Structure 1
Amino acid sequence: MKVKFTTLLLAVVAIAVSLGVFRDYWTLNPFKNEAGYTNISRVTTDRDGAIYTITDSKKVIRKVDASGKLLYSVTSDLDSTPNAIKLFGSVTADDEGNAYALVTILDSFGLHVFGERIVKISPDGSKKSTIYAVDYQASDNLLRVGNIQSLSAKDGALYFFRKEAHAASLLKLTTTGSADRGQKPEVLRTVEMSENRYLNELTGNDEKRFFYTTKRGRLFEVNEGNSVKLYPQTSDLLLNFPVSIVSGGDYVYFIDYHDAAVKRMSLVKPEAPAESVLPFARLASVSDKEEWSDFTSIYVSDTAVTVATGDQLIQLTLKGEILSYKTGYHYPKLAIWLKLGYWALIAAMGVLLPMLVRFVYVHLLRRKLFLLLKQLAIIIPVVLLFMGGLSYSVYTSFSGEIKKNTESQLKLLAGNGKYLVNGDNLEKLNAPSDFMSEDYQTIKERLNGVFSQDGESRDGLYNTIYRYVDGQLYILMDDDDSVTMYQPFPISEDNLPVLKEGKVVSGEWEDSTGQWMYALGPLYNAKGDIIGIYETGKDMTGISKSTSALVIKILKIIALIGGVLLIVITLMTVYLLSSINKLRRSVNLIASGEWDVKVQIRTRDEVEELGERFNMMASSIRQYIQEMTKLSNAYFRFVPQQFLKVLGKKNMTQIRLGEQTNRRMTMLVCNTRSFSAFSKTLSTDENFRFINSFLKEFGPAIREYGGFTSRYLGPGMLAMFPNEPEEALKAAMKLRATLETYNVHRQHSGYEPINIGVAVHTADVMIGIIGEEQRLEGSVVSTDVELTLELEKLSAKLGVNVLLSENSIRSLKMPPQGAYRKLGSFQLAEESSTIELYDVFEGDPEHIRKLKQETKQSFERAVELFRSGRFYDAREVFVSVVKRNRYDLAAKLYFFECDRYFQEGVSEEWNNALKIS
């Protein structure tokens, strides 16, 4: 019965956890293999043809390969920053397939920018790391977009622009090696702006030449620090505004919303007019679902132009011919199986959960159980059920009420827009060139003053003003700093009643910039004509978070009430069980040392069972104490005394989870070489006997010199020496001596001899207790532990039996006793730094030791020639070493590298070290 209950309970818990972990694979239709793009805001490609898009209103980055298969989806909630909305602002990719995304951190209303992060995403999307971070103050008053833009990757570096009040800087971050958020970007070029030139967008990654636009609709080229206007080419009053600029080849591309086209300017012939690469008319011939306002982003590669609209991607030749039209992507087969697996888990939960409930209420409650447990088994589910129902009712009621109140507030503000915006000032704004004019600033200051004296505290509200001219609607100003002036806006069924009838309307919509609740009100001139629309609204994400935060507070109160109710019921039950007082008095006697106490309870319930268990407990305490004494003598076999001494503890009872100390210690790794091949010749039983035999023979050498074994590595071990590094070196020599004796015994028994490799390294390590309260373990935490393990593997490639790092050599009070030689500087495949190594061959077989001693001087001289770049000379010396000692693998490795470098030359990144893969 217990086994069945435990199995059911564990199965239900495991399925519940799995449903939470894999919740992203929930879908109503697991057989659906394709999905469409929604609300694309940015697009880029890499050299393999993979497409990276920022979709779902800036909340998701998707990578799709050239065949249209989804490789990964990454959401903008990459960390647990509280009370914040995180949106992707820009994305780029390098030649290795890594993506770099700009994450904008906004307040809970989705309006004020508090910070920006640049995140690196691995080619498969499994690893995300922040490589640069910047925080802003509320006084910066950045709305919707921050100061960083236009990420681009080139030659192992990431380039981006940082906007300032009257300047723009091109910055560079190194992305190879150990890139982390603490590094500071290199400023390649800073361009100062005149007072009437308001920055909008920047693009490019060449410090000598890049491009930018201004809020007044001008496109400039920066060449050697000097700004030259490229567009417009006339001084006439134009409504055209270059948006989403990107440079490629001999052109700079941009979106012109006024002409409803993707255009480009020639950099070779700057006097030539801008040509249309993709006019809306051609796009409409491919898909009748598009609108001219759907253009959102452009990316130009060496061979193609990729244009993003709201829900589609159009790839063109550099001449503007349409190559492909992508509306979505398909899932990999693994994702389909995972979705089906998720439904299988749901089905399993639907079967097992009723079984568990039935088992609890039909079988367990019929058995002799504590009355308190029986009561709680009934009360807790009932309370939880009512709390769940109440929570759902509260959530739906509050969310609906908050939305209703917000809508009323927005309509009131929108209706008052005609009093806030002076129509005469609005009519004087006739083109993007009027940005920040006196009339513009008058309107802007009036709007800011409505929300607070300083214009910063907005409670999440945004403002947008539209100008209605000649039957066309234009965006004139917006709190989103990325929105341009006189950007055309479609007239729809939502805003037409405002323009024609002067009504105040409200609604909700979602586009590539986000999800919004809004209200629209008419704006009038002095004659009473409708000349525009005033829009105010809130980010729906912020509204949802505000609703959730309020509901969570209410739920906490409900949970507190439920908890108090359960406590009261429990206390009343305990009070009624007065017989338990007899048991308490008997427990006090036991505590005073009277082991012969017996309690007599005849209540025929759980209290009587407790009395019987109490009597059994009293009779077994003495036996328990004896067992504990045995255990206290045995635990040192699992936790070495030296480990406790390092932590400053006397026994295991003083150990607590999380205790740790930082010590400089010497690590020794000893391992059996070629064990994988050797173990295949043995049975499972023979493998275990060999490993235990090996550890039995070689373990004492560690303890003899004050070390302790931190970890077993099969037929090997990781040992720590908290005292002097000389002790570790002596232990290494002892291990070599033990090997000779051990192999003699093996030969006498008819077994093949074995060989071991030893690596010794000294470094600072963190030693302490890890695990959880029910399972503790002593552990050593340090990257140098892994380095020592790698050095042991390296020793086999170098033909070295005892490999010593320079850290250990320098830590020795005296040079190593016996024969040794300097191997030179090495760079491991996964490491960017180098390490100096030494071959201690005192414990090598006699003939090897003799050969190494004879060639030591030549070997070390050849190493120095190699490090100085004299590869021909070094190669000749290594040849002589190999001829004298054909067993010298290190000399052979050096010989081949010298020959390769002599033939091919070295790269600029060569660091005078021998790189080992």
Structure 2
Amino acid sequence: MFLIFYVYKFRKSYLQTISSLEKSNKKLTQINQFYESFVPSEMLYFLGSSQIVDISLGNQIKKEMTVFFSDIRSFTSLSERNPPEEVLKFLNAYFERMNAILYKYHGIIDKYIGDAILAVFPGTVDDAISCAIEMQKDIQNQPFVINGKEFKISIGIGIHFGDVLLGVVGGGKLLQTTVISDVVNTASRLESLTKEYGASIIISEDILHNIEEPQNFNIRFLDYANIRGKEDTTFICEVYSADYEEQIRLKNETKELFDNGVMIFQSGEYEKSWEKFLEVLKENPSDKAAVYYLNKTANLLVDGMVLKQFHENDLVKWDQDWSTGIDVIDSQHKSLFEILNNLARAQKYGREMEVLSRIFNNLKIYVYTHFTLEEELMLKVNYPDFDNHKLSHLIFIGKVLDAEKDLKTGDKEAPKRVISFLSDWLISHIKHSDKEGYVPYVLEEYEKSRLEV
């Protein structure tokens, strides 16, 4: 009887022990999964550890990897316009969507830096590029919600390849794994260049050389760039596979022309380069990188002379009411606004004749650039009032040339007269002759060609 009792007690104790061990194992699994949210298991693997308790300060490994850096455009403005709790909800929703894509392509997230994501790809550079393309497409196709309203965002992505050091850093009670390398700084700098060139994804020369299947991507040469903090000049490329289909087609068709424009620009033949980019924009007015080069060459042709101070006293200020909906035209209208404001400031603050002459020269070049492109677009869509519109351009040029002649004779009132004329003309021309004239024809033609693709 006693034997049966002791067997029963032993069995009960044994089952309780097993149950307790199972609960402990389950708890340990949950703890490990929780810790993996802070230190990815892949990072532990590269550091030669299987669990977080095995890592210590100074653990490190050097390895060639692809570094990926992404950042949300205009995030500061978005944060200022919305309550903090709504911004936090948005960020969590954004990171959740982006993380799923990063994991799909074997990316390891190193850290979040505000709204930026720093990740590494231990596999092929193709993984990182494919990930960037899918992230851009996801953002294009599915809006986010903040404060109960749907809205779309845009992000820039920079990708670089090289030796990185994975290690454990910190002090006292706080340790963390991180990626340390100049490669990280370069990837971040490439991301910042996406804003300058109007590209969504920019890759480095090292990435280009290590792509295994280049036929899978739409890539074009963008520039030779001096990356901040680096002595050597490197070439950078735009990956435009995430663009809308119509843009991909147009960029493919103008790729050789664009490449020639960049090469000629690098050789210092700015006038020829300007002509090449003008040709690109005739075919694809939405090519932001071509707009960047067109404006840059025009600036260089007049030594890039601009007066940057006193912007609070601008005579005319750009806002969305001035927008035509055609990016390249809006960009050039903004440049004309800036020149007009420079002229007004120079005249107001009594700048010498040489400065006024340079601004007039700048105005002539921009006017020629802008009018040439406008007229090409009008011809392309068979705009019925082309002759009258072109006549208004000729009258404008005549007024500018007359004022320049007066200026050369020492007439200090000439800038005042041209400022008054330009202000009136811009209001009338942009808001009426452009927006109510040829612009609807161009937008209709663009929409038609986009739908046909």
Q: Same fold (TM over 0.5)?
A: yes
Q: Which residue of 2 aligns with 1:140?
A: none
Higher helix share: 2
* Aligned positions, number: 285
In structure 2, what residue type is equivalent to 1:741? N
Name the SS of the counterpart of 1:658 in structure 2. Answer: coil
Q: Does 1:666 align with 2:66?
A: yes
Whose relative contact order is higher, 1 or 2, with alpha carbons under 8 Å and at least 6 apart?
A: 2
Q: Which residue of 2 aligns with 1:699?
A: 99
Q: Which residue of 2 aligns with 1:885?
A: 284
Q: CA RMSD in A?
A: 2.6
Q: 1:772 to 1:624 in 2, by over 3 A?
A: farther
For residues 689 and 832 of structure 1, what CA distance do their matches in structure 2 show? 41
CA contact (8 A) 1:657 1:773 kept: no
- What's the TM-score once normalised by structure 1's chain length? 0.30
Q: Does 1:809 align with 2:212?
A: no
Q: Tell me by how many angstroms 1:831 deviates.
A: 4.2
Q: Which residue of 1 aligns with 2:37?
A: 637
Q: Tell me by how many angstroms 1:816 deviates.
A: 4.9
Task: Render the CA deviation track for 1:206-249: whole Å, top value 9, x for unaligned.
Answer: xxxxxxxxxxxxxxxxxxxxxxxxxxxxxxxxxxxxxxxxxxxx
Task: Render the CA deviation track for 1:69-112: whole Å, top value 9, x for unaligned.
Answer: xxxxxxxxxxxxxxxxxxxxxxxxxxxxxxxxxxxxxxxxxxxx
Q: Tell me by how many angstroms 1:893 deviates.
A: 2.6
For residues 677 and 884 of structure 1, what CA distance do their matches in structure 2 show? 34
Find 2:225's aligned residue among 826, 830, 855: 826
Q: Which residue of 2 aligns with 1:850?
A: 249
Q: Does 1:684 align with 2:96?
A: no
Find 2:196's aligned residue among 777, 790, 797: 797
Q: 1:788 to 1:626 in 2, by over 3 A?
A: same
Q: Which residue of 1 aligns with 2:120?
A: 720
Q: Which residue of 1 aligns with 2:312?
A: none
Q: Does 1:759 align with 2:154?
A: no
Name the SS of the counterpart of 2:120 in structure 1. Answer: strand
Q: Which has the larger radius of gyration?
A: 1
Q: Which residue of 2 aligns with 1:862?
A: 261
Q: Which residue of 2 aligns with 1:771?
A: 170
Name the SS of the counterpart of 1:813 in structure 2. Answer: coil
CA contact (8 A) 1:736 1:843 kept: yes
CA contact (8 A) 2:189 2:228 kept: no
In structure 1, what residue type is equivalent to 2:165? M
Q: 1:884 to 1:642 in 2, by over 3 A?
A: same
In structure 1, what residue type is equivalent to 2:116? G
Q: Tell me by how many angstroms 1:823 deviates.
A: 0.6
For residues 630 and 697 of structure 1, what CA distance do their matches in structure 2 show? 23
Q: Which residue of 2 aligns with 1:871?
A: 270
For residues 814 and 698 of structure 1, what CA distance do their matches in structure 2 show? 24
Give matches, 1:60-459, under 5 Å.
none
Q: Which residue of 1 aligns with 2:450?
A: none
CA contact (8 A) 1:646 1:722 kept: no
Q: Tell me by how many angstroms 1:884 deviates.
A: 2.9
Identical positions, percent = 27
Q: Which residue of 2 aligns with 1:653?
A: 53
CA contact (8 A) 2:277 2:294 kept: yes
In structure 2, what residue type is equivalent to 1:897? K
Name the SS of the counterpart of 1:823 in structure 2. Answer: strand
Query: Can you give the 5+ residue segments of structure 2 that lack an aligned partner in the other structure?
Result: 1-12, 14-19, 305-453
For residues 841 and 715 of structure 1, what CA distance do their matches in structure 2 show? 23
For residues 298 and 26 of structure 2, what CA distance do their matches in structure 1 show? 71
Q: Tell me by how many angstroms 1:737 deviates.
A: 2.4
In structure 1, what residue type is equivalent to 2:245? E
Q: Which residue of 1 aligns with 2:295?
A: 896
Q: Tell me by how many angstroms 1:847 deviates.
A: 3.3
For residues 50 and 256 of structure 2, what CA distance do their matches in structure 1 show? 50
For residues 696 and 741 of structure 1, what CA distance do their matches in structure 2 show? 16
For residues 264 and 68 of structure 2, what CA distance do their matches in structure 1 show? 31
Q: Tell me by how many angstroms 1:846 deviates.
A: 2.8
Task: Render the CA deviation track for 1:312-357: whole Å, top value 9, x for unaligned.
Answer: xxxxxxxxxxxxxxxxxxxxxxxxxxxxxxxxxxxxxxxxxxxxxx
For residues 626 and 740 of structure 1, what CA distance do their matches in structure 2 show? 41
CA contact (8 A) 1:763 1:807 kept: yes
Q: Tell me by how many angstroms 1:676 deviates.
A: 1.0
Q: Tell me by how many angstroms 1:897 deviates.
A: 3.2
Q: Tell me by how many angstroms 1:883 deviates.
A: 3.3
For residues 742 and 648 of structure 1, what CA distance do their matches in structure 2 show? 39
Q: 1:648 to 1:705 in 2, by over 3 A?
A: same
Q: Tell me by how many angstroms 1:624 deviates.
A: 7.8
In structure 2, what residue type is equivalent to 1:635? Y
Q: Tell me by how many angstroms 1:704 deviates.
A: 0.7
CA contact (8 A) 1:805 1:838 kept: yes
Name the SS of the counterpart of 2:61 in structure 1. Answer: strand
In structure 2, what residue type is equivalent to 1:656? S
Q: Which residue of 1 aligns with 2:236?
A: 837
For residues 665 and 829 of structure 1, what CA distance do their matches in structure 2 show? 21
For residues 773 and 621 of structure 1, what CA distance do their matches in structure 2 show? 33
Task: Render the CA deviation track for 1:754-810: whole Å, top value 9, x for unaligned.
Answer: 111111111111111101252210011112212211211110221111111111010
Q: Tell me by how many angstroms 1:705 deviates.
A: 1.0
For residues 58 and 22 of structure 2, what CA distance do their matches in structure 1 show? 33
For residues 880 and 642 of structure 1, what CA distance do their matches in structure 2 show? 49
Find 2:137's aligned residue among 737, 748, 773: 737
Name the SS of the counterpart of 1:836 in structure 2. Answer: strand
Q: 1:647 to 1:855 in 2, by over 3 A?
A: same
For residues 879 and 827 of structure 1, what CA distance do their matches in structure 2 show? 25
For residues 626 and 830 of structure 1, what CA distance do their matches in structure 2 show? 49
- What's the TM-score once normalised by structure 2's chain length? 0.58
Q: Tell me by how many angstroms 1:746 deviates.
A: 4.8
For residues 257 and 25 of structure 2, what CA distance do their matches in structure 1 show? 67
Name the SS of the counterpart of 1:751 in structure 2. Answer: strand
Name the SS of the counterpart of 1:712 in structure 2. Answer: strand
CA contact (8 A) 2:140 2:152 kept: no
Q: Which residue of 1 aligns with 2:110?
A: 710
For residues 687 and 636 of structure 1, what CA distance do their matches in structure 2 show? 25
